[in-house]
Amino acid sequence: MRKSAIAVLLLVLLGNALVWALWNRPVAERSWDGMISGVGYTPFHPDKSPSRGDKASAQDIQKDMATLNGNVRGVRIYSTTDGSEQTAAIARRYNLPVTAGAWIQGKPEIDEPEIAGLVKLVHANPNVRRVMVGNEAVLRADVTVPQIVDYIRRVKKAVNVPVSTAEPWHVWLSHPELAESVDFLAVHLLPYWEGLPVDQAVDYAMMRYDELKAKYPNKHILIAEVGWPADGPWRRGAEASQVNQAKFIRTFLNIAAQRKLDYFIMEAFDQPWKREIEGSAGTSWGLWDAWRNPKFPMMGTVQEMRNWPMLCAVSGALALLPLVFFLRRRGDLRIGGQIFYGAMIQAVASVLVFTFTAAADAGLATTTEIAWGILIFCQLVLLAVMLIDGLELTEVVWQARFQRRFEPASATPPEDAPMVSIHVPCYNEPPHMVIQTLDALARLDYPNFEVLLIDNNTKDPAVWKPVEAYCAQLGPRFRFFHLDNWPGFKAGALNFGLDQTDPRAEHIAVIDSDYQVHPDWLKATIPHFARPQVGLVQSPQDYRDWEGDLFQRMTNWEYAGFFHIGMVQRNERNAIIQHGTMTIIRRSALEGVGRWGEWCITEDADLGLRLFEHGFEAVYMPESYGKGLVPDSFSAYKTQRFRWAYGAVQILKHHWRELAPGAKRLTSGQKYHFITGWIPWFADAAHMVFGIAGIVWSLGLLLFPKYFEFPPNAFMIPTLSVFAFKVAASLWLYKARVKCGFWDKVGAAIAGMALTHTVGRAMWLGIFTSGRPFVRTPKCENQPALMQAFLMAREEIALLGSLWLAALAIVLVFGHENRDAFMWSGLLVVQSLPYLSAFVTSLINVFPNLTFRKRPPQTIAAAEGAAD
């Protein structure tokens, strides 16, 4: 590699390390160097869950007690029937006293064995110093206060150690009769669940402790649970994080030592199985993680991810080969582009490492694994699209020079210039529009051409007869053919035209029936066929008469983006998409690859790919030599894009062997563009799934909160970031290549987004069907304008409304206590933007007087067939 490339590589890797270091910069917190009074202990290791009926093993408990020995003075257990009862005997070997609990649920078949086990445990183990009958059983409403009091009295008669029950502070304050029945108060002080910021949390807990002390001055108070989670959703002002957990625990331990408090930290070890009942926050209260590693030190600084150097190294290693490949291959890019795209590669690698790490910490429940699998797949799709868009942006902005730039020929063609046969397929088009097309062809400054106008299956003679008569007036160069019941659609008509072509013609040119060509079109393009390897010459689609109509203005600039950005970049690798208008094909090449493909709904793109497979080159010149008419309606605009997208899937299914790795007929650059060029359309198909899944997931959050939780920020933040990048990249690309104003850029972006649902539907239909779909244009011409707008975008409006209702419901139900609700609602709103764009575009279409700025009135030519 060149020295500059090595410097870029080192700069990117160093930048990655700097970002990881800044994100995990050490935080100075109050240190603790003493012994912890006690910890809550649940003996389940990562491979076990009591919800599955698993029992804790003596071997696991033995390992845990060895870990706790020397760090804590006592442990608290919660049950006497799930294997926890083995803790007391094992803890005795380490001189650890135990506070034992019976898990009470208000069901005799559960409660009675628990109580019996508790009594037995006390009698068998002298290190069981006190007991608790129930854990938040009153809070959960599993039992009433009189019921739990009755249980307490029964246990007090059977044992000779202090007896209580564990409840939050407010339950004790509300029920003096409960406090009267116990030997000591066992209170839970968990400010996280109450939404307190961590800086205020310990003071708040002490305030509640003092309230209880004031109300019950003669009762000993045990803080039976106190702690903070390392992971979980925002709850009002409470943020679950590793740094915040360390901050809370270390601050509390110092205050507890000063005030000589009796307490148990919640809890010893992380418990992944609790995700099923408490969500992600329930899994991460441990001082040790689920694999029994300390999560943070009690002395010195604290970091959010202690293993960040390893994760940073993994992300760097993951990015290294793609970075080296990119930098070795793209020496043609200026240094800024190498740094920009190299940073993108590294950022994607780091996001993936972070996501997979979060998934590994998420627990082992089947539903969790499925959810994370779906989320990771979605993220991979989004990141792949971002890298594709990023490479295009990099090449456009920082490419030092064009490798395949073709200039228009300017010399006057000789009288014996190669003959060109111009084919104009036509179906049910307005005669006056077609006549304008013929007049423009008649003005071509080229000595040797013919025009074949092929009217295909137009039923009404009043439509095609005037065109036939006008061709006769123009002379022998212009020949008219009317076909009834002709198969093959446009490709069938073009193949018929090929059979009628003058034998002397060396090249076949095709334009749509609404295109008015420039007189220099053939003069500027045909000389490029002097090289025998050139199989086609393509000029961009361009449009006229759109300036005074806002809808048509938006669609014009949306088209312009592809022809001035995408096609120019594809031309650099000889991988353009052939279009069925303003295209010229070497006749021998066309016949040699099998003529027009009547099997495919986008016969033009299929022909271009077959020409590449047979080794031909394409020439693309971005200069405009003909202008047609943009679709008149949003419905026609959608119909056209549906056909393009459906045809793309047909082509991929038909040509996949040539696009696969190892196939030799296409270059790597051609494979890249034909695959990645259509991946964004597959992303549109995925967007449909994401949107529907978002609605379903929101319903789950609202109706079944026990089984659904908000997707983690490890997924939501990158998703929102990718959307922001796509918007910024689109505006940047237009600024670099498309000469239009800012609001025209915005309008183009809205028009493009408006097609997301249409493209997505086409891709799914293309995947699961193989025939030509019938695409119905809404029959709404006789409806009021507003009704037309609703009918043309009815599916998009339904999804828009559903997403907005889901977002609103989430904020109303969860927003008061969970900040993640706003993140999720924001994601739903972002998912709705393509559907909003469709509705807005449809409204703009049916109210043509709308405009970005005042313009003089202009006459807009009608073009009912412009969608072809």
Distance CA 662, CA 660 (A): 6
Predicted confidence (pLDDT) per residue in 778-789, tens digit: 334 445 567 887
In the 3-class helix/strand/coil scheme, how is 804-840 assigned residue by residue?
A: HHHHHHHHHHHCCCCCHHHHHHHHHHHHHHHHHHHHH
To which residue do tokens 């010893």 refer? Answer: 268
**pLDDT (average), residues 686-712:** 88
Which pLDDT score is estimated for 715?
76
Question: How does residue 440 score in pLDDT terms, banded at 50, 70 and 90?
Answer: very high
Better-scored residue on pLDDT, 848 or 271:
271
Look at the alpha carbons of 148, 152, 153, 155 in this order and tell me if their dihedral is positive or negative.
positive
Predicted confidence (pLDDT) per residue in 14-26, tens digit: 999 999 999 999 9
Among the listed residues 458, 447, 404, the one whose alpha carbon sits nearest the alpha carbon of residue 667: 404
Distance CA 818, CA 809 (A): 13
**pLDDT (average), residues 856-866:** 36
Which pLDDT score is estimated for 85?
95
Omega before 267 cis (within 30°)? Answer: yes
Question: How does residue 777 score in pLDDT terms, banded at 50, 70 and 90?
Answer: very low
Which pLDDT score is estimated for 362?
58
Which pLDDT score is estimated for 232?
86
Which pLDDT score is estimated for 448?
96
**Of 13-17, 212-216, 259-263, 678-682, where does mean pLDDT reach its minimum?**
678-682
For 488, the token pair is 């093959």
Predicted confidence (pLDDT) per residue in 358-406, tens digit: 777 655 455 566 777 777 888 888 899 899 999 999 999 998 888 899 9
pLDDT at 646 over 50: yes
Antiparallel, parallel or unpaired: β 220-226 and 184-189: parallel
Taking the CB of residue 367, how many other CB atoms lie within 10 A of it?
Answer: 12
**pLDDT (average), residues 189-211:** 97
Write b or e for each residue in 575-585: b if 16 or more Cβ atoms lie within 10 A of its Cβ, otherwise e.
Answer: bbbbbbbbbbb
To which residue do tokens 């069925």 refer? Answer: 580
| Residue 352 Cα distances to 11, 86, 346, 382, 394, angstroms | 20, 42, 10, 12, 22
* φ and ψ at residue 40, rounded to 5 degrees: -70, 140
Torsion of CA 564, 569, 574, 575, to 10 degrees: -80
Distance CA 465, CA 486 (A): 18
pLDDT at 859 over 50: no
Distance CA 808, CA 868 (A): 41
In the 3-class helix/strand/coil scheme, how is 101-155 assigned residue by residue?
A: EECCCCCHHHHHHHHHHHHHHHHHCCCEEEEEEEECCCCCCCCCHHHHHHHHHHH
Distance CA 50, CA 329 (A): 55
Predicted confidence (pLDDT) per residue in 229-239, tens digit: 998 888 888 99
Q: Is the Cβ–Cβ distance between 639 and 864 less than 8 Å?
A: no
Question: How does residue 860 score in pLDDT terms, banded at 50, 70 and 90?
Answer: very low
Distance CA 339, CA 333 (A): 10
**Of 23-27, 99-103, 746-750, where does mean pLDDT reach its minimum?**
23-27
Distance CA 554, CA 837 (A): 12
- State in Å, rounded, how far the first CA of the chain is from the last one: 49
Q: Is the Cβ–Cβ distance between 749 and 834 less than 8 Å?
A: no
pLDDT at 264 over 70: yes
**pLDDT (average), residues 524-535:** 97
Predicted confidence (pLDDT) per residue in 616-637, tens digit: 999 999 999 999 999 989 999 9
Which pLDDT score is estimated for 573?
95
Q: Is the Cβ–Cβ distance between 232 and 710 less than 8 Å?
A: no
* φ and ψ at residue 368, rounded to 5 degrees: -65, -45
Q: Is the Cβ–Cβ distance between 421 and 390 less than 8 Å?
A: no
**pLDDT (average), residues 443-469:** 96
Which pLDDT score is estimated for 773?
52
Dmax over CA atoms of the chain, in Å, equals 119
Mean pLDDT of the chain: 91
Better-scored residue on pLDDT, 184 or 724:
184
* φ and ψ at residue 176, rounded to 5 degrees: -60, -30
Predicted TM-score (pTM) of this structure: 0.84
Question: How does residue 863 score in pLDDT terms, banded at 50, 70 and 90?
Answer: very low
The DSSP element (H or E) to which 50 belongs, if any, is none
Which pLDDT score is estimated for 364?
46
Which pLDDT score is estimated for 830?
94
Which residues is 184 bridged to in the sheet? 220
Write b or e for each residue in 291-306: b if 16 or more Cβ atoms lie within 10 A of its Cβ, otherwise e.
Answer: ebeebbebeeebbbbe
| Residue 183 Cα distances to 118, 131, 133, 284, 710, angstroms | 16, 10, 12, 31, 41
